[in-house]
Structure 1
Amino acid sequence: MSHPKVSICIPTYKQPDFFRRALQSVFVQSFDDYEVIITDDSPDESVEHVVKEFQPNIKLKYYRNKERKGSPENWNEAIRLASGEYIKILHHDDWFPDKNSLIEFVKMLDENPNADFAFCSSLVCGPDQKVKYLHLPTEKQLSKLRSSSNYLFPKNIVGAPSATIYRSKLNKRFDIRLKWVVDIDFYISVLKDNKNFIFCSNPLVCTTDGAPHQVTSECQNDKNIELFEWFYLYDKIKKYPIIDFRNFVFFWNLLYKYKVRSVGEIKELGIQFPPQILEAIVQLQKILCTFR
């Protein structure tokens, strides 16, 4: 049995109108050597009803989770079920803006066998589909990323997972302990194994920003989530005991945002981090706060 070139993985959770738009953008693609893997984490049948609108379609493979997996394990489930040479994640509220989007994604890897990972710029849109801005890393940022995958900490210049495509042979999964910085962690892991990546400046995908149903809306400004995940990721990528000025300022601002005044408050969140660095950040924060 032959496998498709691309597995388009669409992890879903309710929001049938967004999901319908995503599917519509897939089925008009000029490149057709693909399968669509849908993993449904919904508590109702709203997603399933949309799937039925597009059936019968041999490219469409729908799976309803028996128990809710949550994000990002629902993403992982779609990846596990994929059989394509390439993995193309498309979140259910994102979509391809052009019929040639998918073929351009595929070309990036087909024409660059030394790279396992590719990404594009993206049109970031509001829930009303109006473009808010173009997510486009600068040449300087791309150069720094080529030098070190850790450059993604703390700024995600890649963008949303929908802006990426990678070879399934990497056998990578998203860290289920994370929600807020899960994409950054994934990209760093992929690029540590092979620093070669391909970038397309054309926006091959539209991503949704600011919708109330999104995980980002749930995590943003949540002290426990943000503090835990940023310190957890920093520990995971093994950058300490040396902390550069850019990251020092980042952590100082993070602690200032949440009015954290002591190392003990951070430790209460179960965060493992070199105490000397934490103490230095906290002390600097106390000094600088007098000038604000």
Structure 2
Amino acid sequence: MHKPLLTILIPVYNYYSGLLRILNNLPVDNEKLEIIICDDSDDIDYEFYKFIDYKIKIILNPVNIGAAKTWNKLLKASNGAYTMIIHHDEFPENKNTINLLIKDIESHYTCDVFVLKYKILKNNKIFNHTSGRLKLFFINNSIAYIIRRNFIGSMSSLIIRSEFYQEFDIKLKWFIDVDLFYRVLMSTKNVNYLNKSIVSEVDRIESITYNVKKNNFNELKNQELMYLANNHGYRYKIKYFIFDIIFYINKILLLLHNSK
């Protein structure tokens, strides 16, 4: 059986227009690409899947199992040498993005992790997130800083060699992606930056992020920080103060650039 170079995993929850937007920007006919959808919606639209290309693998959860368990279910289904997750409220920046990423992976096949450029869609405008150079600076100088400031972005900002991908910790909600970033980036230093973008829609009131923030958010953050501190030995360091300055200078510069 032909092993795909890249597997794209798409978890879906009650957002079929978002799923369609992703599929419209994927090169389904590329033989080096595997696409797997796992639908955990409250009311699955079975009619929608009748029109999906037969090359796309579809997993329909008979009962709702939640986001983290759905992500882990998808990870177990991946067959590609590399794996990336694109959530239903994200999408490749254009129709050629994934084909270009596949070519980049082939050119740097010894790398274990690829860090992508990350952009956000807000108020119908696309903005840049943390610069690629800054991401590599933090990765090379203090991966643990990601627990303080998420300088990576969303899960779609990483393409990971499948053997290095790890399960999501279902005990976490707010820091679930950051925890995985930390564990993966601590397991290998073989990281490369690719100047290609996945865009994330950040102002959907139905999003997981929005819903997590609604209820006892500060208490949840503090509890999870203590959990991460116990698991990873995370402690605040004086140098993080300097990193904070660098991080927010980058934010200001990006805001100025985006306002042009």
Q: TM-score, normalised by structure 2?
A: 0.83
Counterpart for residue 42 of structure 1: 41
Q: 1:171 to 1:202 in 2, by over 3 A?
A: closer
Q: Does 1:149 align with 2:148?
A: no
Cα root mean square deviation, aligned: 2.4
Alignment of structure 1 residues 21-40 onto 2, 5 Å: 21-26=21-26, 28=27, 31-40=30-39
Give the conservation status (yes or no) of the 8 Å contact 1:31–1:100.
no
Counterpart for residue 211 of structure 1: 204
SS in 2 for 1:25: coil
Counterpart for residue 51 of structure 1: 49
Counterpart for residue 226 of structure 1: 221
Provide the aligned length of Structure 1 versus Structure 2: 241
Q: 1:248 to 1:152 in 2, by over 3 A?
A: same
Q: Does 1:162 align with 2:161?
A: no
- Structure 1 residue 4 displacement after superposition: 1.6
Alignment match of 1:99 (pick from 92, 95, 99): 95
- Structure 1 residue 108 displacement after superposition: 3.9
Instruction: Give the aligned residue type for 1:229.
Output: E
Give the conservation status (yes or no) of the 8 Å contact 2:132–2:193.
no
Q: Does 1:190 align with 2:188?
A: no
CA deviations on 1:162-218 (whole Å, 9 max, x unpaired) are 122111122411111112111111111011110221112342x11110201111101
Counterparts of 1:140 and 1:173, CA distance in 2: 27
SS in 2 for 1:104: helix
Give the conservation status (yes or no) of the 8 Å contact 1:220–1:226.
no
CA deviations on 1:73-92 (whole Å, 9 max, x unpaired) are 11111111111111121111
Alignment of structure 1 residues 43-82 onto 2, 5 Å: 43-46=42-45, 48-55=46-53, 57=54, 59-82=55-78
Q: 1:227 to 1:49 in 2, by over 3 A?
A: farther
CA deviations on 1:111-139 (whole Å, 9 max, x unpaired) are 3344211121122003x6x2242113263
CA deviations on 1:45-103 (whole Å, 9 max, x unpaired) are 23x33222224x2x211111123221211111111111111112111111112222113
Runs of 4+ in 1 over 3 A off after TM superposition: 28-32, 245-249
Counterparts of 1:108 and 1:52, CA distance in 2: 33
Instruction: Give the aligned residue type for 1:230.
Output: L
Counterparts of 1:115 and 1:76, CA distance in 2: 23
**Is there any run of 5+ residues in structure 2 with no aligned partner, and where?**
243-260
SS in 2 for 1:53: coil
Q: Whose relative contact order is higher, 1 or 2, with alpha carbons under 8 Å and at least 6 apart? A: 2
- Structure 1 residue 148 displacement after superposition: 2.9
Instruction: Give the aligned residue type for 1:154.
Output: R
Q: Does 1:237 align with 2:232?
A: yes
Q: 1:229 to 1:49 in 2, by over 3 A?
A: farther
Counterpart for residue 246 of structure 2: none
Counterparts of 1:247 and 1:68, CA distance in 2: 40
SS in 2 for 1:199: strand
